[in-house]
């Protein structure tokens, strides 16, 4: 049947009702979950909902994006049902008296893409059954690598107060069953891959999405309960244990053509990368970096 989601049996559609039953309910962070057959950009949709005052916990998933975006406006494209494209709405600057959460300052928000990276990495490790010796790793600030190739990207976007307080939209794109001829071209940085190409035994998107959203909720709740303290919540330790950037020589390209090199030695309490250079220690925030190589 033309246009049927079952024309490619390796890529069945997500089960929207089952996902909602599993993830949305009393006491859960996620308050609504919308699975769309197609949209331009889940991040753009959720950002618009944020401007209109939507509450924290909104989740949008798309089987296909026609204008998906990554960091610095880079395109993120995937065939229908070949990956996971999900965006969530968070309001870390708003108090939640029932949960005992105080509003967090904007400077703490830099940890959100790193938090999302931990959630994705843990979901893949737990469920994908990759070959022995192939472990997901995080490339600061927003990539998930599998076998030194990019398998997922994360985009965090701030949205000004639209009536519900300042918001952050977190978008995650995970390549699941893309074939070699379907991978996006990457003129710079690590080449692209998918879980299937990396040898994963499990490529069912439903459990991968459930695990990612559950992990994201768990880490977000811990982080909020610790008043945004990444160390006290355990987030900083979890991130560093998965980070492939720390301990390596890196080349940092800055806006305007400036650059410097050195050894990445850690991530500070504000989520900035710490680099030891010949001239001394430097820290860089994700928003200050064009490329990290």
103 within domain boundaries? yes
3-state helix/strand/coil string of 129-148: CCCCCCCEEEECCCEEEECC
* Same-domain check for residues 271 and 253: yes
Q: Are residues 81 and 169 in the same domain?
A: yes
Is residue 185 situated within a structural domain? yes
Q: What is the pLDDT of residue 1?
A: 43
**277 in any annotated domain:** yes
Q: What is the CATH number of the domain that holds 192?
A: 3.30.930.10
Q: Are residues 70 and 122 in the same domain?
A: yes
Buried b (16+ CB within 10 A) or exposed e, 149-173: bbbbbbbbbebeebebbbbbbbbbb
- Domain assignment present for residue 8? The answer is no
Q: Total domain count for the chain?
A: 2
- Say whether both 79 and 212 belong to one domain: yes
**b or e along 225-234 (b: 16 or more beta carbons within 10 Å of the residue's beta carbon)?**
eeebbbeebe
**Whether residue 56 sits in one domain with residue 176:** yes
Q: Are strands 32-36 and 58-62 parallel, antiparallel or unpaired?
A: parallel
Residue 289's pLDDT is what? 81
Residue 95 covered by a domain: yes
Residue whose structure tokens are 């008043």? 227
Instruction: Evaluate if residue 2 carries a pLDDT over 50.
Output: no
Q: Is 9 inside a domain boundary?
A: no
Same domain, 158 and 279: no
Same domain, 98 and 210: yes
Q: What is the mean pLDDT of the chain?
A: 92
Give per-residue pLDDT as tens, 31-48.
999 999 999 999 999 999
The DSSP-derived string for 94-131 is S-BTTTTBPPPPGGGGGHHHHHHHHHHHHHHHHHS-PP
- Counting residues of the chain whose pLDDT is more than 70, the rounded percentage is 92
Using one digit for the tens of pLDDT, what is the confidence trace for 113-171?
999 999 999 999 999 999 999 999 999 999 999 988 999 999 999 998 766 678 999 99
pLDDT at position 291 over 80: no
Q: Give domain status of residue 102, yes or no.
A: yes
Token pair for 292: 């990290």
Q: Are residues 143 and 73 in the same domain?
A: yes
Q: Both 25 and 168 in a single domain?
A: yes
Examine the domain organization and report whether 183 and 210 are in the same domain. yes
CATH code at position 259: 2.30.30.100
Based on the fold, state whether residues 184 and 230 are members of the same structural domain. yes
Among 56-65, 69-78, 218-227, the minimum mean pLDDT is found in: 69-78
What are the pLDDT digits (tens) for 71-82? Answer: 455 666 779 999
| In the predicted structure, residue 6 carries a pLDDT above the cut 60 | no
pLDDT exceeds cutoff 70 at 104: yes
Instruction: Kindly state whether residue 7 falls inside one of the protein's structural domains.
Output: no
| Maximum pairwise Cα distance, the chain | 64
Threshold 0.85, pTM exceeds? yes
**255 lies in the same domain as 166:** no
Domain interval for residue 131: 16-240
Q: From 110, 240, 210, 212, select the one nearest 152 (Cα to Cα).
A: 212
108 pLDDT higher than 80: yes
């Amino acid at each position: 049947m033309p246009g049927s989601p079952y024309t490619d049996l390796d890529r069945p559609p997500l089960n929207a009702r089952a996902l909602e039953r599993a993830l949305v309910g009393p006491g859960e962070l996620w308050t609504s979950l919308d699975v769309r057959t197609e949209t331009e950009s889940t991040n753009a949709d959720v950002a618009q909902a944020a401007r209109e005052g939507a509450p924290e916990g909104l989740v949008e998933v798309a089987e296909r994006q026609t204008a998906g975006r990554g960091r610095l406006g880079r395109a993120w494209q995937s065939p229908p049902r070949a990956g996971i494209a999900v965006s969530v709405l968070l309001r870390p600057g708003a108090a939640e008296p029932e949960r005992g959460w105080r509003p967090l300052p904007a400077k703490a928000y830099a940890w959100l893409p790193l938090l999302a990276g931990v959630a994705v990495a843990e979901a893949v490790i737990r469920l994908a059954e990759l070959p022995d010796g192939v472990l997901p790793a995080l490339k600061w600030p927003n990539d998930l690598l599998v076998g030194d190739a990019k398998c997922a990207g994360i985009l965090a976007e701030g949205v000004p107060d639209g009536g519900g307080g300042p918001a952050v939209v977190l978008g995650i794109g995970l390549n699941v069953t893309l074939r070699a001829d379907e991978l996006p071209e990457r003129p710079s940085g690590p080449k692209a891959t998918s879980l299937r190409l990396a040898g994963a035994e499990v490529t069912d998107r439903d459990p991968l999405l459930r695990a990612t959203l559950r992990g994201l909720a768990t880490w977000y709740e811990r982080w909020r309960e610790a008043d945004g303290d990444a160390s006290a919540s355990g987030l900083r330790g979890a991130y560093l244990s998965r980070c492939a950037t720390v301990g390596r020589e890196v080349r940092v390209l800055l806006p305007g053509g400036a650059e410097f090199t050195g050894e990445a030695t850690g991530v500070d309490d504000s989520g900035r990368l710490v680099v030891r250079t010949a001239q001394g220690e430097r820290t860089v925030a994700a928003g200050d970096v064009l490329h990290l190589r």
